Amino acid sequence: MTVTALAQGAWLSQPLPSNLEFPGPDAKTRDALGYLHANCGNCHNTTPGVYMIPEPRMDLRVLIGQTLDQTGATRPR
What does 2-61 look like in DSSP terms, one character per residue? -HHHHHHTT--SSPPPTT-S--SSSHHHHHHHHHHHHHTTTTSS--TT----SSS-----
Supply the pLDDT for residue 28. 93
pTM for this entry: 0.66
> Checking phi first, is residue 74 left (phi over 0); if not, alpha (psi -120 to 50) or beta?
alpha
Residue 22 confidence (pLDDT) above 70: yes
Distance between CA atoms of residues 50 and 44, nearest Å: 8
